[in-house]
Amino acid sequence: MPISITSGGQNLQVLIRELDGFLRVTKGDMRAALTAQKKRILARTARGVDADGVSFIPYSQEGPYYWYPVSSRTLGATGQKRSIRRFAKKTGGTAAGKGIRFDSYAAFKRSLGGVTVNLKGPSIPHMLSAIAIRAISATRGVLSVVGPASIRAEGHNRGSGSLPRRTWFAAGANDVLEMVNEIADAMLDRLERRSRGRN
């Protein structure tokens, strides 16, 4: 004959099952941890540091560098020339055919108001705005750069040709610890809310 123990008028086994539910990692927990990781990646990249907290290699000082800002298909040849002259005047570059000449890529980035190596392109969307989150299950999730920007992102992450390695899209040891703590906090918050609801 089974014996039933109650606490506060409820069956103890029911309480244990409820606790198990509150202390179980959910797909939502994984999604929240990935979202927080994306924010960390964006914040540290804006500061110019990689996943391990090391400053990015500076932008190239070699030159010249040419930037081609607009397409003649959208503005027409005359509109493109005007746009190039305006942008060159605004940034301190020199109009050069369909592009704008700068002394170096570093000079181009400085002309856009940046001195920190933050990996942002001159216009949106850029690879930092192409980060996608997908929670597959409670224990598996993917943070990825999607679309054409993924090639540029991988080039920066691994280094490619003249592009130096800047490991911006990664989870360092501190990131993993943060994600574990965020998931644990989410479980404890559920338990605390349940406990307050009982009192």
Which of 116, 138, 165 lies at the terminal end of a domain, its last residue? 116
Confirm whether 137 is domain-assigned: yes
Question: Are both 145 and 175 inside the same structural domain?
Answer: yes
Confirm whether 16 is domain-assigned: no
Task: In whole angstroms, give the CA distance from residue 108 to residue 150.
Answer: 23
> In the prediction, which pLDDT does 87 show?
82
Looking at the structure of the chain, the number of domains it has is 2
Question: Are both 42 and 128 inside the same structural domain?
Answer: yes
Question: Are both 110 and 173 inside the same structural domain?
Answer: no
Confirm whether 14 is domain-assigned: no
Residue-by-residue DSSP string for 40-94: HHHHHHHHTB-TTSPBPPPPP--S-EEE----HHHHHHHHHHHHHHHHHHHHT-E
Question: Are both 52 and 130 inside the same structural domain?
Answer: yes
Question: Are both 79 and 52 inside the same structural domain?
Answer: no
Tokens of 18: 């409820």
Which of 69, 88, 116 lies at the terminal end of a domain, its last residue? 116
Q: Which of 25, 34, 38 is closest to 135 using CA atoms? A: 34
> What number of CA atoms fall less than 13 Å from residue 105's CA on the CB side?
12
pTM: 0.77
The domain of 103 spans 59-116
Give Cα separations from 170 to 28, 42, 100, 186 (angstroms): 21, 11, 34, 23
Question: Are both 174 and 191 inside the same structural domain?
Answer: yes
Residue with tokens 């942002």: 120
**Chain-centre distance for alpha carbon 142:** 12
Give pLDDT tens digits along the chain (199 positions): 455 444 444 555 565 566 666 678 889 999 999 999 999 999 999 999 999 999 999 999 998 999 887 665 666 777 778 888 888 888 888 988 888 899 999 999 998 887 889 888 777 668 999 999 999 998 899 999 999 889 989 999 999 888 899 999 999 889 999 999 999 999 888 888 877 775 5
Give the CA radius of gyration of the chain: 26
